[in-house]
Amino acid sequence: MELRLYDTLSREKRPFVPLDAKNVRMYVCGPTVYDFAHIGNARPVIVFDVLFRLLRHLYGEAHVKYVRNITDVDDKINDRAARDFPGLPLNEAIRKVTEQTGKQFHADVDALGALRPSVEPRATEHIGEMREIIERLVKGGFAYVAEDHVLFSPQAMNAGNSDLPRYGALSNRSLDEMVAGARVDVAPYKKGNTDFVLWKPSKPGEPSWPSPAGIKAEGRPGWHIECSAMAWKHLGEQFDIHGGGIDLVFPHHENEVAQTCCAFHQQRMANYWMHNGFLQVESEKMSKSLGNFITIHELLADWPGEVLRLNMLKTHYRSPIDWTMKSLEESAKTLDDWYRTAADVEPGRPAASVVEPLLDDLNTPLAIAALHGLRGGDIGALAGSLRLLGFLSESAGQWESRKQQASGVDAGEVERLISERTAARARKDFGESDRIRDLLAAMGVAIKDSKEGTTWEVAR
Ligand code: AMP
Ligand code: ZN
């Protein structure tokens, strides 16, 4: 069976044909590093990690290149830097903020079982490429300078040049409607009200770089140009897959396509545009004001990362996901069972029943259902399939201690209470043995008595 992927641009599932099977290339928009990443940010990380693993399985590890950027130029970063390090020059404070939050991001996504991408470029290290693309756009008549800004004109792009894609094609919008619907308070230096910023002047104290297009004052890039520059540098003018959350289709990805295709005079930037659906929490939009904003870091204090991973993959990546405590508890039970059954087994080839749904536009819920099917049969295939999906990264023993750590249960204390209870039962003091059982239950520990003795697990 061949791999088929849903492409947002053509709005259909198509067979995946790489430009070069020896060098399959994927770009995914990464985080803006100004704070702890939230569980919504974990969704593209996990979804595209599964795709990365699947592509490596199909084309070979050495033949897949995955680029996920780190956005380290942003107003939110500047604000945080000024707030947290008021005594430092802004540039130094910014470096501190992005170093710290970048490290935190890595710790979080490592715990989720996501492989590191082949390259993780930072925006600040690609200012030269951004300037070069901007120069090309100005020369080509797609962008213009006004009051030390460089602006891209979607109208110029759509003005009859049939070698280029149509601005609005990716997000399925018409430029006329966008023009009509544009806000009334459009900046006065813009010629058209849908024009967007490629480069802008820096305010005093803000990070700044020499400007392109003959502008004397130093400035800084707009957000969209960053990804065009980093994708170009690391993957070339055209590549296979571009991914991100559904919220990025417009304007971010629409603008990326526009910049890249106009700069390099081509019809396509990526051959497949993939977008994950949004995550909400207990049926509500996640937001700081609703108080239901959860970071990956907080969740990892209570749950092993693989539980979060499984919980994410139970829903198809294009559907919205409702993140609930109930579902997390079920995911924890499932994973626990898999660890006990398969973690210490020699992994076999991943089962066709698991790989086939993945080939069908990453149908992870169906793949997970197939894993349940293997549970009573080929355990080697179960182990191999789970590893393909990024599970079972540790032994069953390590898993037990991680679970206990995550749940805050002190294993030594549990063992001590269990032997006290065993002694109470031996002397037929059932009042005391029940009391200890209740005490353990209150600690979140379930016990099971059998002929071999008493075993325990962390109950959720
Ligand atoms: P940001 O740092 O906000 O640019 O987001 C980084 C990535 O996380 C992007 O691909 C976003 O589309 C994605 N993302 C942000 N919020 C959510 C959410 N609630 N559900 C799913 N994906 C999200
Ligand atoms: Zn991007």
d(C-alpha 100, C-alpha 196), whole Å: 31
Top-confidence residue, 137 or 409: 137
**Domain match, 451 and 338 both:** no
pLDDT tens-place string over residues 100-123: 999 999 999 999 999 999 999 999
Residue 294 included in any domain: no
271 with 331, same domain: the answer is no
Q: CA triplet 278, 72, 69: central angle to 5 degrees? A: 60
Q: Is the CB of 279 under 6 A from ligand 1?
A: yes
Distance 116 CA to ligand 1 centre (A): 18
Determine the distance separating the centroid of ligand 2 and the alpha carbon of 239, expressed in angstroms.
14
Q: Tell the residue nearest (CA) to atom 7 of ligand 1.
A: 41
Q: Are residues 209 and 328 in the same domain?
A: no
Q: Would you say residue 170 lies in a domain?
A: yes
Q: Is the pLDDT of residue 290 over 90?
A: no
CA of 230 to the centre of ligand 2 (A): 9
Q: How far is the CA of 26 from the centre of ligand 2 (A)?
A: 12
| Total of domains in the chain | 3
- Residue 284 inside a domain? The answer is no
Ligand of minimum distance to the alpha carbon of 319: 1
Rounded mean pLDDT of 166-171? Answer: 97
Whether the per-residue pLDDT at 459 is higher than 90: the answer is no
Of the three residues 351, 374, 399, the one that is the final residue of a domain is: 399
Asked if residue 285 is part of any domain, the answer here is no
Separation between Cα atoms, residue 336 and residue 364, nearest integer Å: 19
Q: Which atom of ligand 1 is nearest to the CA of 286?
A: 19
Q: What is the DSSP letter of 87?
A: T
Q: What is the pLDDT of the chain when averaged over all its residues?
A: 93
Q: 243 and 361 share a domain?
A: no
**Residue 236: what pLDDT?**
98
Please, what sign has the CA dihedral across residues 172, 176, 179, 180? Answer: negative
Report whether pLDDT(206) > 90. Answer: no
Query: Looking at this protein, which amino acid is placed at residue 56?
Result: R
169 and 315 co-located in one domain: no
| CB of 248 shorter than 6 A to ligand 1 | yes
Q: Is residue 382 domain-shared with residue 235, that is, in the same domain?
A: no
Per-residue pLDDT at 266 exceeds 70: yes
In the chain, pLDDT over 90 holds for what percent of residues?
79
Residue 456: pLDDT over 90? no
CA of 453 to the centre of ligand 2 (A): 56
Q: Atom 12 (ligand 1): residue with closest C-alpha?
A: 245
Cβ(31) – ligand 1 distance below 6 Å: yes
Q: State pLDDT tens for residues 373-421.
A: 999 989 999 999 999 999 999 999 899 888 777 777 777 788 889 999 9
> Are residues 245 and 345 located together in one domain of the fold?
no
- Ligand 1: does its nearest atom lie under 6 Å from the Cβ of 312? no
Ligand 1 closest atom vs CA 31: 2
DSSP state of 246: G
Q: Residue 275's beta-bridge partner residues?
A: 244
Does 278 sit in the ligand 1 pocket, CB within 6 Å?
yes
Query: Is the CB of residue 44 below 6 angstroms from any atom belonging to ligand 1?
Result: yes
156 in Cβ contact with 142 (< 8 Å): yes
In the predicted structure, residue 15 carries a pLDDT above the cut 60: yes
Q: What is the pLDDT of residues 431-451, one digit of tens each?
A: 999 999 999 988 888 888 888
Q: Is residue 295 part of a domain?
A: no
Q: Is the pLDDT of residue 38 over 80?
A: yes
CA angle 284, 287, 289 (to 5 degrees): 110
- Mutation probe of ligand 1 site: the residue of 247, 282, 316 with most atoms within 8 A of C-beta: 247
Distances (CA, A) of 148 to 134, 188, 201, 204: 13, 13, 6, 14
* Residue to probe by mutation, ligand 1, list 43, 250, 252, 316, most atoms within 8 Å of CB: 43
Give the ligand with the smallest distance to the CA of 281: 1
Token reading at 153: 């004109």
Residues 267 and 122 in one domain: yes
User: Tokens 């997390």 — which residue?
Assistant: 328
Distance 43 CA to ligand 2 centre (A): 15
- The average pLDDT across 334-355 equals 96
Domain CATH for 247: 3.40.50.620
Same domain, residue pair 364 and 217: no
In the numeric block, which tokens belong to residue 106?
């890595």
Residue 287: inside a domain: no
Distance, in Å, from the CA atom of 177 to the CA atom of 378, rounded to the nearest integer, reads 56
Task: Indicate if ligand 1 lies below 6 Å from the C-beta of 29.
Answer: yes
Instruction: With cut-offs at 50, 70 and 90, classify the pLDDT of residue 1.
Output: confident
Task: For residue 204, report the distance from its CA to the centre of ligand 1, in Å.
Answer: 30
Residues 393 and 434 in one domain: no
| 362/271 same-domain check | no
Which amino acid residue places its CA nearest to atom 9 of ligand 1? Answer: 245
Contact 273, 170 (CB under 8 A): yes
Residue 321 has pLDDT above 70, yes or no: yes
Whether residues 419 and 341 share a domain: the answer is no
The Å distance, Cα 442 to ligand 2 centre, comes to 47
* Ligand 1: centre distance to CA 393 (Å): 26
Q: Can you give the CATH number for the domain in which 339 is found?
A: 1.20.120
372 token code pair: 């349940």
Question: Is the CB–ligand 1 distance for residue 169 below 6 Å?
Answer: no
Instruction: Look at 454 and 310; give whichever has higher pLDDT.
Output: 310
Q: How far apart are CA 365 and CA 359, in angstroms?
A: 13
The pLDDT score that the predictor gives to residue 411 is 75
For residues 368 and 316, give the distance between their C-alpha atoms in angstroms, rounded to a whole number: 11
Ligand at minimal distance from the CA of 121 is 2
Residue tagged 């020896």 (tokens): 22
- From 420, 404, 405, select the one nearest 456 (Cα to Cα): 404
User: Does residue 186 lie within any of the structural domains?
Assistant: yes
d(CA 229, CA 121): 10
Measured from the CA of 243, which atom of ligand 1 is nearest? Answer: 10
DSSP code, position 14: E
422: left (phi over 0), alpha (psi -120 to 50) or beta: alpha
* Cα–ligand 1 centroid distance for 377 (angstroms): 39
- 47 forms bridges with which residues in the sheet? none
What confidence category does residue 460 fall into, taking pLDDT thresholds of 50, 70 and 90? low
Q: For residue 164, what pLDDT band results from cuts at 50, 70 and 90?
A: very high
Average pLDDT for 20-49: 95
Number of the ligand 1 atom closest to the C-alpha atom of 321: 20
- Is residue 286 in a domain? no
Q: What tokens appear for 170 in the block?
A: 């990716």
> Mutate which of 32, 41, 256 to test ligand 1's pocket (most atoms within 8 Å of Cβ)?
41
Q: What is the pLDDT of residue 404?
A: 77
Could you tell me the residue range of the domain that residue 138 belongs to?
A: 4-279
Instruction: Name the DSSP class of 69.
Output: -
Strand residues in 362-404 grouped as ranges (E)? none
How far is the centre of ligand 2, averaged over its atoms, from the C-alpha of 328 (Å)?
30
